[in-house]
Amino acid sequence: MANYVSSLPGMERIVELVRFNKGILSAVENDYMQEIGVTTEFNGVKLTVDAIIVDNMQTLVFYTIESERDLENVIISEVELFKYNGNRISSYGVSAQAHEKITKEDKISGKLTLVYQEKMIIPETFILKLDLEEEDRKLLDEVEFPITVDFKKFDALKKEK
């Protein structure tokens, strides 16, 4: 099944990211991943939110970074979630991976993990706001990605746990 999923356009990078995590790989293989496909670009740097996986404990955000020039020590920072009415969502932790080197015109994929504190429920529609930095220099500043969660897709995942 992982071979089939990785043959879908854009999914091969996500499967490569999660291939050693059996729980996440199982979620991908069982179609619990929701494609998002929202991109922002500024000054030759492009960041795309490719897909998400949502359960009652966390949201995994899969993304791709592309650049027209070489970059080093790139990380997503200042992650915030907002309801569509503008109210900030609190009570979550964030884990982001650093990218040591991004070569010009290469596509680098990563995973952002949002871990909820007790009884937090992610809203059906929310704004993911973040910065993309290279060695403390902002490449993308306070970019916003509107996300609508298809909770029907994740219902079975919640029941299995």
Residue 61 lies in a domain: yes
Q: Is the pLDDT of residue 20 over 80?
A: no
Q: pLDDT tens-digit profile of 27-56?
A: 666 677 888 999 999 999 999 999 998 888
Q: Tell me how far the alpha carbon of residue 14 is from its chain's centroid.
A: 10
Q: What is the pLDDT of residues 59-84, one digit of tens each?
A: 999 999 999 999 999 999 999 999 99
Give the domain range for residue 42: 37-153
What is the reported pLDDT for 78?
Answer: 94
The C-alpha atoms of residue 82 and residue 98 are separated, in whole angstroms, by 24
Per-residue pLDDT reduced to its tens digit, 100-142: 999 998 899 889 999 988 777 788 999 999 999 998 899 999 9
* pTM reported for the whole predicted model: 0.83
In the chain, the number of structural domains is 1
CATH code for the domain in which residue 117 is found? 2.60.40.1630
List, as one string, the DSSP characters of 66-123: EESS-EEEEEEEEEEEEETTSPEE-SEEEEE--EEEE-TT-EEEEEEEEEEPTT----
- Helices (H) and strands (E) counted in the chain, each on its own, are 4, 10
**97 belongs to a structural domain:** yes
In the block, tokens 């991004």 appear at 102
